[in-house]
Amino acid sequence: MIRESLESYYQYDVKVWSPVIISSEDDTLYSREIMDELIQLEGEGERIIIAVTDRRLMLRLDEHISRLIRGYTEPNHNVILISTHLFQTETNSEKDLNFNLAKLAKHKIGHLLGLHHCEFSDKCFMVSTYPDPTNFYNSGHELCSKCKESLNLSHLRDRPKDKSDSLD
């Protein structure tokens, strides 16, 4: 369901892998190290790979400081790593969990396509989840007009609301 929603929105071939099988004795994954493994699977073409895990996902800021994150993309690669760990504690239902996972996947694909965090509209799904995830949870399931313009993707302009985006 998430794959179909993303493919119809961005018109990209998307491969969703869940769960991610990663050998680790710890319940915590470090984003850059796992991303190196996933990049090996990337291949050629316009396919985007989204790997989903339920483990904690950390971003090392330096050798002593790490931050808990919801997802990670590596510049110049069509690979996304998403963790459900925070979503499971921050959402109230399976429906909300799926909705927010799909929204985060769209957000991460937006980064792959060159978008930064949106400062124009609090309803755009490109708003930041850090430091307060409430902004992201309260955002919509669409890009704002400024983000659509910066992408210059004509199929996203003035797009009618698609009920499949609700991920019921």
> Above 90 in pLDDT, residue 127?
yes
Q: What is the model's pTM?
A: 0.74
> Above 60 in pLDDT, residue 166?
no
What's the CA gap between 29 and 21, in Å, rounded? 11
- Between 47-51, 134-138, 147-151, the lowest mean confidence (pLDDT) is in 47-51
Q: Residue 130 — pLDDT band, cuts 50, 70, 90?
A: confident
* The predicted structure's pLDDT at residue 19: 47
Terminal Cα-to-Cα distance of the chain (whole angstroms): 9
* The predicted structure's pLDDT at residue 165: 34
User: Tokens 């302009």 appear where?
Assistant: 157
Mean pLDDT throughout 134-152?
87
Q: Residue 117 — pLDDT band, cuts 50, 70, 90?
A: very high
Stated as kind and residue range, the H or E segment containing 167 is: none
What's the CA gap between 99 and 27, in Å, rounded? 24
State CA 126 to chain mean position distance.
10
What are 144's two structure tokens?
A: 């704002």
Contact 79, 49 (CB under 8 A): yes
